Amino acid sequence: MGKVYDALKRAEEQRARRVQDATSASAAAPPMFEPTRAAGAEPRAARSRRLLSRLTRMARKPAPTETASQLNKRRITLLQPESFVAEQFRTLRARLDSLSSTRPVRTLAVTSALPGDGKTLAAIGLAVVNSMQPGRRVVLVDCDLRKPTVGASLGLRVDAGLAELLEGTASLEDAVMRVENSQLDVLPVRAIPANPSELLASENMRKLLEALANRYDRVILDVPPTLGLPDAKTMSELCDGVIFVVRADVTPEPEIASALDVLDRRRVLGLVMNGSDPISSHYESMR
């Protein structure tokens, strides 16, 4: 776990320096009131209520229509396979392959603490570079049954998806699609079910993962954010490990710690630091 915490500490220090620089000009001004509590000392219960309220609002908010630029950013490893971003995902792939010599690393859940941290970009990027290896069979599964984005990001026309498969109205052959000009298979989402958490926790989901693990060398799942929903915890327990995504200078450290507690730190195999300076970017993995 040391590498993960070093990375999070560096991100937090970087964010703190930027905040300090932005506020230094007004620091000499006399305060309008005397605070009754030290900064950062918000009671845990109050912080939990604030976070739950925020997540509830985000869950109820309709997903905005995304621009072509936003969609293309998620498939950068397909559009620019020799880019710096693609090379970093290759590094993560190599470290996961190294781990596979000592433990199973066939099914991987990719998640984050909060929406907007870049979990779908990471899931697509990792799936694409894995599928580039000759002879390796890879499938990417969109497990976000509330706000799915994998299909749209990869330009897929979806006729049947995960919900139909779990509900028994479609077969695996009907739902799995091949991304054009690649060796990557995708199981996207078409219909938004009324009971997403129950479907993901169902026996059908467990059997589906077993079937995919028997058919593919690596199964990568794009899982909903961890905080505020049970889905990430449910899916992480069905997989061999978790890849956790953090957005540099954005994801609050308390939320990162809370999400890692929910997931069980021992199941986290790697960390993706999204949105950091390319010079200092690193995708850490743990043993």
Amino acid at 198: E
Other Cβ atoms less than 10 A from the Cβ of 264: the count is: 12
Amino acid at 114: L
DSSP string, 211-226: HHHHH-SEEEEE---S
Residue 275 lies in a domain: yes
Say how far apart CA 97 and CA 217 lie, in whole Å.
Answer: 11
Residue 24 lies in a domain: no
Q: What is the pLDDT of residues 192-217, one digit of tens each?
A: 999 999 999 999 999 999 999 999 99
Residue 57 lies in a domain: no
Residue 60 lies in a domain: no
Tokens of 86: 């693609």
Say how far apart CA 143 and CA 111 lie, in whole Å.
Answer: 10
pLDDT value, residue 22: 45
Q: How many domains does the chain have?
A: 1
Q: What is the pLDDT of residues 253-264, one digit of tens each?
A: 999 999 999 999
285: pLDDT strictly greater than 90: no
CATH number at 158 reads: 3.40.50.300
10: pLDDT strictly greater than 90: no
Tokens of 49: 């209520």
Give the pTM.
Answer: 0.76
Closest CA to 108 of 134, 126, 94, 91: 126
The dihedral through the CA atoms of 166, 171, 175, 178 has a sign that is positive
User: What confidence category does residue 78 fall into, taking pLDDT thresholds of 50, 70 and 90?
Assistant: confident
Amino acid at 90: R
Residue 280 lies in a domain: yes
Containing domain of residue 216, as a range? 2-12+79-285
Say how far apart CA 209 and CA 185 lie, in whole Å.
Answer: 14
Other Cβ atoms less than 10 A from the Cβ of 73: the count is: 16
Instruction: List phi, psi (to 5°) of 131.
Output: -70, -15
Residue 94 lies in a domain: yes
Tokens of 224: 């909903």
* Residue 200 · residue 143 · CB < 8 Å: yes
Residue 33 lies in a domain: no
Closest CA to 114 of 282, 232, 239, 234: 232
Q: What is the pLDDT of residues 54-65, one digit of tens each?
A: 555 555 455 556
Q: What is the pLDDT of residues 81-94, one digit of tens each?
A: 888 889 999 999 99
Say how far apart CA 187 and CA 127 lie, in whole Å.
Answer: 12
Residue 118 lies in a domain: yes
Say how far apart CA 177 and CA 204 lie, in whole Å.
Answer: 20
Say how far apart CA 245 and CA 24 lie, in whole Å.
Answer: 31
